[in-house]
Amino acid sequence: MSTQAETKRLTAPDIRARKGGTPIVALTSYHAHTARIVDRHCDVILVGDSLGMVMHGLETTVPVTLDMMILQGLAVMRGSRRALVVVDLPFGSYEASREQAFASCARVMKETGCGAVKLEGGRRLAETIAFLVERGVPVMGHVGLTPQAINTIGSFRAQGREEKDWAAIEDDAQAVADAGAFSVVIEAVAEPLAARISAQLRIPTIGIGASAACDGQILVLEDMLGLSPRVPKFVRRYGQLGPSIEAAVEAYANDVRARGFPGPDHVYPMKTKPS
Ligand code: KIV
């Protein structure tokens, strides 16, 4: 039996069962190589639609397509073995109807082999989430700041910083949980509200800019690695990949210009002496 067959992947019910337990560790990944590393340390890998901004330099996630998500989802599935891989449903692929949402989920799950999908929205998506869950689609919710709504909300700003806004966000989170989501991402929400929602819900909350009171944490990999040029306030940079890539590229360019690369170790010698 191969090692691959012996490693059991985490499932949505495994993550659901972690409510109130050891914090759930999640990161995004869009490639096989980074997925391989992330997989060794994380419980969940999110193939987020942030790939539109991170990989493609888009201003928002709105232009991201289902085909883009499937291509990167497949790469992450190939690179990982143990973590639950969750693929984002991009803007326009699920909001029109429950049937449209199911058709998109079916494509994502069949074509990538991922274990769950994530979609943005609270109360207004509850019926869709219930429809999907009843049909075998594990759904991770996403409330608070929902970047796909950028054109109606106007800017990527923190939510729930005034008490008058709390009820709507709490209601969104509760609706997603009641609809059968196995967990919910809470993005950029004031600390006391995130703590309140985490205490109220029976499913794990996964915070991004939502305090340590959540049942787990997620960050965009390139943000925490120090590769993204600009990052939100809630990001801690655990690496400085940008400057380190810059230094490597500069050294390579200098070597090539000085004919210092390739060196004797990087060429193929002849098997027999040329006549
Ligand atoms: O697309 C993404 O990377 C996300 C995370 C920010 C949670 O949704």
Based on the residue annotation, tell me whether 120 is a catalytic residue of this protein.
no
Instruction: Choose, from 120, 170, 187, 222, the residue flagged as catalytic.
Output: 187
Could you tell me which residues come within 8 angstroms of residue 130 by beta carbon, excluding any fewer than 6 positions away? 179, 180
Atom of ligand 1 nearest to the CA of 48: 1
**Exposed, middle or buried by CB within 10 Å (0-12, 13-18, 19+), for 189?**
buried
132 CB-near residues (< 8 Å, 6+ apart): 98, 101, 102, 105, 117, 139
Q: Is the dihedral of CA 184, 189, 190, 193 positive or negative?
A: negative
Q: Are 83 and 44 in contact (CB under 8 A)?
A: yes
Residue 5 C-alpha to ligand 1 middle, in angstroms?
Answer: 30
> HSE of 188 in the Cβ direction (CA atoms, 13 Å)?
12
> CA nearest 142: which of 72, 209, 233?
209
| pLDDT at residue 108 in the model | 98
Q: Report, as ranges of residue numbers, the positions in the chain whose pLDDT lies below 70.
A: 1-5
Question: Which pLDDT score is estimated for 6?
Answer: 73
CA of 89 to the centre of ligand 1 (A): 11
Q: Going by CA atoms, what residue is nearest to atom 5 of ligand 1?
A: 48
Q: Which residues line ligand 1 (CB under 6 A)?
A: 28, 46, 48-50, 88, 185, 187, 208, 218, 220
CA-nearest residue for atom 2, ligand 1, is 48
Asked if 25 and 43 touch (Cβ cutoff 8 Å), the reply is: yes
- Closest atom of ligand 1 to CA, residue 50: 1
pLDDT at 88: 98
Is the pTM above the cut of 0.85? Answer: yes
- So what's the pLDDT on residue 273? 85
What angle, 0 to 180 degrees and rounded to 10, lies between the N-to-C axes of helices 126-134 and 166-178?
20
Task: Give the dihedral sign, CA 156/161/165/168.
Answer: positive
Give the residue ranges of DSSP H helices in the chain.
3-6, 12-16, 32-39, 51-54, 66-79, 98-112, 126-134, 150-153, 166-178, 191-200, 221-224, 241-257
Which residue shows structure tokens 């000085």?
Answer: 258
Q: Locate the ligand 1 atom nearest the alpha carbon of residue 218 and give its number.
A: 7
For ligand 1, atom 4: residue with the closest CA: 48
What are the tens digits of pLDDT across the range 216-235?
A: 999 999 999 999 999 999 99
Q: What is the pLDDT of residues 165-187, one digit of tens each?
A: 999 999 999 999 999 999 999 99
Q: Using most ligand atoms within 8 A of CB, pick from 50, 58, 85, 87 the residue to mutate for ligand 1.
A: 50
Residue nearest to atom 3 of ligand 1 (CA): 48
Distance of CA 51 to the CA centre of its chain: 9
Residue 34, CB half-sphere, CA atoms under 13 Å: how many? 16
Helix ranges (H only) for 135-190 are 150-153, 166-178
What pairing do the DSSP bridges indicate for beta strands 116-118 and 84-88? Answer: parallel
